[in-house]
A and B are shown apart, each in its own frame.
Chain A
Amino acid sequence: MKMKKVFALLLSVAMLASVTACGNDNNNTVSNTTDSSSAADESTEASSEETAEELPVVSEEEDTITIMVPPVTGTYTEKLAVWAKEFEDMYPHLHIEVIATSWDEHGSKLTTMALAGEAPDIAEVSYGAIGTYVEMGTAINIADYMEAGRLDDYDQNALDYMTLENTLYGLPLYITIQALGGNREMMEAVGADVAKIQTEGWTYEEFLDVIAAGTTNDIYGFVFGNSGVTTADFVSIFGVSAGISSSFTEDLKYAYTSENMLALLEAVETMTSSGYMPDYAVEAAQRLVMLETGEAMVVGKAMPLFESNVKKNNAGIADGTAADGSIEVEYVFLPVPTMEGATESVFGSVDGFIAMRNNNTTDEHLKNVCLFLDYICSGERAASVYTELYLTCVCESGRQIQSAFELDQSELNAAATARAISKVNAPPTGITAEMSAGAKTIMDEVIVPKFQALLAGETTAKDMYDIVCSAAYETFGQDNCASGWVK
């Protein structure tokens, strides 16, 4: 008798607990409030002292800010710990908690936490992923909470990357420019005027001539890392040669249905069938190795940063730590060639930090969050990142500090880099989160897979173009898709 009662009690407690947990979950998801009562997350501080939202005064209440970053550079996590300490010294009532993640899984962990309503206050994201978080309702308009005038420090171009539907959701950390890289000696041997290309760009025809001339029995004229998921890079980076610099045109129409896209696909078809490019999928790491061993003349994707990798490799030839069969290579950073009728641009990808909503969010808290956000994206902090990545700053305060640093970069490469940055086109700011999500889905589920088939020679450019168009019409409606040639 007693055992039965005890047992029944236990069972019902278990059931009740799980149902309550369910119920709580539903309650939280149905009510759309930025609850000022602390259903605390990772923060261990006594932030329950936070007052209600009516108080606009900057108080000295204790607050904890969580920030989640993958290893942006090899030493970023260590440096971040130092900067966090500096910040805490400046503002004793604020505490920073750093969550270090790994490069590949950062996105899925962040999304899980966001879905659970437990997102970190600040998270590193690539600009293309912002749409997902906006759709979820977890991204925050930081313009409302930033200290007055601080936004002027940042380049408008970079800020535009962090903007959707004309709302600014975060601050940029850097713009990575991605284009092509080459072996200077080999190129000059086939008669290319490397200096001119770096300072003035080149046309698609010139490019074809160069790689055709550079292709011999042992050497490929052009190698682009395109196996597996890196195929998307090819589309984005080489897409600028056809004048496609973003998924949407200036007037907010979907860009991959334009004639430019067809031209791009046909160009790829030509390059793969003619043997200037390998007819097999090239692993991302391989392309750099092929450049270092002299098996490739022009490679992609390439960044100014590779100059340091190549220099290290050159140095390693003497003591055997270099890649097998390496030769001395002088690295040149090259812009992507431009087709006739297209405006030259360079593919830039922005990584930055966004502020996120979680159970701990109040106006007060957000002001503190933006304070720290601003701190790590500007000044010396930003400058040290740029130096490690061989980029120039996207904020004025960073630029001033960086001018004092010595960069081990050849003059021409530096000039090419600066020129490239000036040609980066931010995506139009009027894109909605929904459009951005739709574009991402089409890219991942239609364009990239079909592109892989195109590279393997299993489909034709026209076929792929038609399929992309029909998928786009279905998602956006035919009126919202670009047609004809877009300048």
Chain B
Amino acid sequence: MASGLYSQHLNNRKLRYMRNAVLIAVLVIFALVSLFPILYMLTWSFGPAIEAASNSYSIFPRIWTMDSYKAFVNYSPHSFRWLFNSLVVAVATVLGNVVFASMAGYAFAKINFKGRQTLFFMVLIAMMIPYQVTQVPLYILIVREFQMTNTYAALILPGIATSYNIFLSKQFFTGIPTALLESAKIEGCGQLKTFRLIVLPLSKTILAVMAINTFLGSWNNFFWPFLVTSKDAMFTIQVGLKTFKFSNGTLLSPMMAGACISAVPMFILFFALQKYFLEGVTVGAVKG
């Protein structure tokens, strides 16, 4: 733990409390400022389910009702199916990334294989091409060549091991002391065993970070699912939410209710992964 950073205050209780109080105050204020949009989303999800051409600018709706949530559920026979689809896609994407991207990242960081520099460079470069222009050939590939419209595969595969995650894990694994891996080698472990027994347990934090970021990215992804699904039943939640907007008005509260509902799985995941966030790399293993 890096609490050693603050150890100069360990002996002075009063100073420590003051310091903590100031820190908390600043953190809370800043957090509130950033949280304001979410607050609005939450309070307005309890508003009436009418077309909001009337945007009265108050924080709280004048009428508190669960109507919007009901409206969301009743809006389409597939409302819950959308959530389910998003869940399936997100979970699969997360699993794929955690396994494959971390393996790749580890290889790029610690295994000296031929072509390592070039391949990593290619991975990096691919991140830099704006997605707008890769959508069309990708669409052609999926829809015309593979004919996978309206399938889970089409939603999951393109994102199952992203350049971003490969890069992330590579950076992280670079920080693991090679001595650790050396000692494993001396004991006769092959790469796979080393990875499984030593590297993975050390990287719980970064894998948790990768998991939650990837889940978030996949969950909030709109344009690609929008492109490759044409049947109501296969929409993801983001695509479904967009259908609340019509040419002449927006059903504001139902949209907010839907957005709140769609944010719930994220919360659950976040808190489930909490214990992983707080473990660091116990580099202390080297000393022993």
Contacts and interface: CB of A to CB of B under 8 A. Distances in A.
Interface string B108-152: 000000000000000000000000000111011101110101100
Contact of A74 (B62, B137, B226, B246): B246
Contacts of B54: 285, 288-289, 292, 313, 322-324
B242 A105 contact: yes
A99 B239 CA distance: 13
B227 interface: yes
Q: Which 8 A-B pairs have the closest CB atoms?
A: A323-B54, A102-B242, A324-B56, A99-B230, A116-B140, A71-B246, A116-B139, A115-B136
B226 A41 contact: no
B50 A100 contact: no
Contacts of B139: 112-113, 116, 118
B248 A104 contact: no
A103 B143 CA distance: 23
Interface in A183-202: none
Interface of B: 48, 50, 52-56, 58, 62-63, 135-137, 139-141, 143-145, 147, 149-150, 223, 226-227, 230, 232, 239, 242-243, 245-250
Interface in A37-63: 39-42
Contacts of B143: 41-42, 116, 118
A285 B136 contact: no
A321 to B, nearest CB: 6
Contact of B243 (A102, A285, A289): A102
A108 B223 CA distance: 10
A105 B226 contact: yes
Given A112-B139, A116-B139, A285-B52, A41 B144 contact: yes
A112 B243 CA distance: 19
9 contacts: A24-B145, A25-B140, A40-B147, A42-B230, A100-B232, A103-B247, A113-B227, A292-B54, A323-B55
Interface residues of A, number: 45
Contacts of A325: 56
A323 B55 CA distance: 7
Given A25-B137, A112-B139, A323 B243 contact: no
Contacts of A14: none
Given A102-B242, A103-B246, A292-B54, A116 B136 contact: yes
Contact of A21 (B63, B145, B230): B145
Nearest to B247: A103
Nearest to B52: A285
Interface string A251-291: 00000000000000000000000000000000101101100
Interface of A: 21, 24-25, 39-42, 68, 70-74, 97, 99-105, 108-109, 112-113, 115-118, 283, 285-286, 288-289, 292, 305, 309, 313, 320-325, 359
Contacts of A42: 143, 149-150, 230
Contacts of A115: 136
A444 B183 CA distance: 64
A353 to B, nearest CB: 15
Nearest to A97: B230
Contacts of B52: 285
Contacts of A72: 247
Contacts of B145: 21, 24
A320 B143 CA distance: 50
Nearest to B141: A21
Given A25-B137, A320-B62, A286 B246 contact: no
Nearest to B137: A25
B246 A73 contact: yes
Contacts of A324: 54, 56, 58, 62
A129 to B, nearest CB: 15
B242 A104 contact: yes
A104 B149 contact: no
Contacts of A117: 140, 144
Contacts of A309: 53, 249
Contacts of B245: 102-104
A227 to B, nearest CB: 12
A325 B56 CA distance: 9
A474 to B, nearest CB: 26
Given A42-B230, A71-B243, A116-B136, A305 B144 contact: no
A71 B56 contact: no
A289 B55 contact: yes
Nearest to B50: A321
Contact of A321 (B63, B135, B144): B63
